[in-house]
Amino acid sequence: MATRFPFQDGGGKNATFKKHLMQRLIKSGSASIADIAKELELSIPTVTKFVGELIREGYVKDLGKQNTSGGRRPNVYGLNPKSGYFVGMDVQRKKILLATIDFNGNIVSNDESYPYELANTPEALEQLIHILTDYISHLEIDSRKILQVGMNIGGRVNPNTGFSYSYFNFSEKPLTKVLEGRIGIPVSLENDSRAMMYGEFMAGCVKKEKDVLFINLNWGLGAGILIDGKPYYGKSGFSGQIGHICALDNEIICNCGKKGCLETEASGYAIERMLRERIAQGCTTIMSEKLEAHGEFLLSDFVDAVRKEDMLSIEIVEHIGFVLGRWIAGFINILNPEMVIIGGPLSETHEYLRLPIQSAIRKYSLNLVNHDTRLVVSQLGERGGLIGACLLSRSRLLDMI
């Protein structure tokens, strides 16, 4: 599908200058021509020319005189928020979340949540397309102005080729092309943990840190890695699969088909198994009623149980924190990050999870190295993946990642 954005590929040197200028306005906000020229190391006439062209093309706005006291006040330029929109779609195990941002990164629609059962079947893909089409048709935005849909999904994805390997790999074409063919809008694809990390980086708990490790403690276990302010993908986009490190000497078969994976002891699946085992052994917990009544285990019920100080649930979350913390200690030794973020639905247990992780990090990482690292709980919580999907899609279009 042809891009809806004129400066994407093959636009030559001028398109590259314009993209750099727009990247600058995204990263540091509106600015005067003199400031932009200085920061981008371009001459004032060059910046004036490109800003003028971007204004005529509708992407940049003259915001008028700067509101400061004293001296000659220069005009300030910023992105035109209405010049394009990005839809973010966060595909979770039981629901799909959707939101839309304008070119300035502001959310312009209410977050929408659609019930959904994620399964690797053509029917589940059809339902996903139906939900996305329905959402776009109800937006109060001309759909021709949607420059890209950014979609997150768990498992192995290759954002460069657009293939998703763990879900919906039914065609010879990449999933992004399959979706574009159906909805008529360019689509980009991202791994869920990396998108959550990007949400925190652009709009969450990351302030000036550029080397960050994000842990997604969810039904499964994954990680997003930020190195020098950019997501780290590895050769094919498969970086961050920490859940499948062969970390344990157990006989539990993981979702990936191997055994002994870290995910078998530190994930939502592991919690459900441990709870059912302990209940069968006669342990009492407020979770027993829920597990027996619906037969279905919800991570939110477990988080509630921890908050209500259910002893067995606290014991399990502490166990997970310690098992996970030991491996995070190893990653800290390898990566020397400034920040480690504990995210995903189970991070809503906050200090019950953070403290055992902190304790294991102190015990197992090199003292000098771990002094550099701050361990925090995600700020965006459940919305992290959704915000990340929206912002990643804009950054991808502007070659910022």
Tell me which residues touch Zn ion (CB under 5 A): 244, 254, 256, 261
Residues 6+ apart with CB under 8 A from 341: 197, 200, 205, 206, 212, 213, 214, 215, 376, 377, 378
Q: Which is nearer to Zn ion, 204 or 344 (CB)?
A: 344
- Residue 55, burial from CB neighbour count under 10 angstroms (0-12, 13-18, 19+): middle
Distance of closest approach, residue 265 Cβ to Zn ion, in angstroms: 11
Residues 6+ apart with CB under 8 A from 167: 91, 118, 120, 124, 153, 154, 155
Q: Which is nearer to Zn ion, 261 or 312 (CB)?
A: 261
Rounded distance between C-alpha atoms, residue 55 and residue 51, angstroms: 6
Q: Which is nearer to Zn ion, 136 or 261 (CB)?
A: 261
Which amino acid, one-letter code, is at 317? V
Structure tokens at 228: 């020098």
Distance of closest approach, residue 227 Cβ to Zn ion, in angstroms: 24
Cα angle value 97/214/108 (rounded, 5°)? 35
Q: Which is nearer to Zn ion, 105 or 330 (CB)?
A: 330
Distance of closest approach, residue 276 Cβ to Zn ion, in angstroms: 20
Q: Which is nearer to Zn ion, 189 or 261 (CB)?
A: 261
Distance of closest approach, residue 220 Cβ to Zn ion, in angstroms: 8
Distance of closest approach, residue 260 Cβ to Zn ion, in angstroms: 8
Rounded distance between C-alpha atoms, residue 117 and residue 301, angstroms: 18
Distance of closest approach, residue 315 Cβ to Zn ion, in angstroms: 24
Q: Which is nearer to Zn ion, 246 or 366 (CB)?
A: 246
Rounded distance between C-alpha atoms, residue 56 and residue 202, angstroms: 28
On the CB side of 358, CA atoms within 13 Å amount to 14
Residues making up the chain, counted from first to last: 401
Q: Which is nearer to Zn ion, 339 or 346 (CB)?
A: 346
Rounded distance between C-alpha atoms, residue 237 and residue 250, angstroms: 29
Helices 268-280 & 287-294, crossing angle to 10 degrees? 100
Distance of closest approach, residue 267 Cβ to Zn ion, in angstroms: 10
